[in-house]
Amino acid sequence: MLMPYLIEFDTVGEEGTGFLTYAQTDSKIPFEVKRVYWVYGTQNDSIRGNHAYKVGEQVIIAMKGDIRIHLEDKFGKVFEFVLTKASQGLYVPGTLWRKAFMNEGSILLTLSSEIYSEENYVRNYQEFKQ
């Protein structure tokens, strides 16, 4: 089974002039990116996600703020990560149930191996666990 893992992206720069972080397919991103989406404008204690995907892979990046990611497989194994830096990402196999805990000012960016399709979502937790 594919496992989630943290990715440290290559970064150049310094405090003051700023940092630049980069990633590309086959160099830190283990799939071809077909879609990007980002979530922002959340209040404190917002929970996003609450679903799994049937197929695909993602890399999740906390562009701003600390974002806690809770992942669970269908057998109940739980993985917890706290993303605290824009220079890191979390590789997530699509089949894991995911929740993102966001606060005011957080910005979450997702890189996806799949284009959007509502049919690719599993939104019912009981169905996911079967």
Q: Using the rule CB under 6 A, is 37 a contact of ligand TYD?
A: yes
Of the pair 14, 119, the CB lying nearest ligand TYD is at: 119
Is 35 in contact with 114 (CB distance < 8 Å)? yes
Beta-strand pair 78-83/57-64: unpaired
Of the pair 39, 67, the CB lying nearest ligand TYD is at: 39
Site for ligand TYD in 89-118 (CB under 6 A): 116
Answer for which of 11, 23, 48, 63 binds ligand TYD (CB under 6 A) is: 48
Phi then psi for 12, rounded to 5 degrees? -120, 155
Q: Using the rule CB under 6 A, is 39 a contact of ligand TYD?
A: yes
- Quick one: 128 exposed, middle or buried, by C-beta within 10 A (0-12, 13-18, 19+)? middle
Residues lying near ligand TYD in the complex (CB under 6 A): 35, 37, 39, 48-49, 51, 116
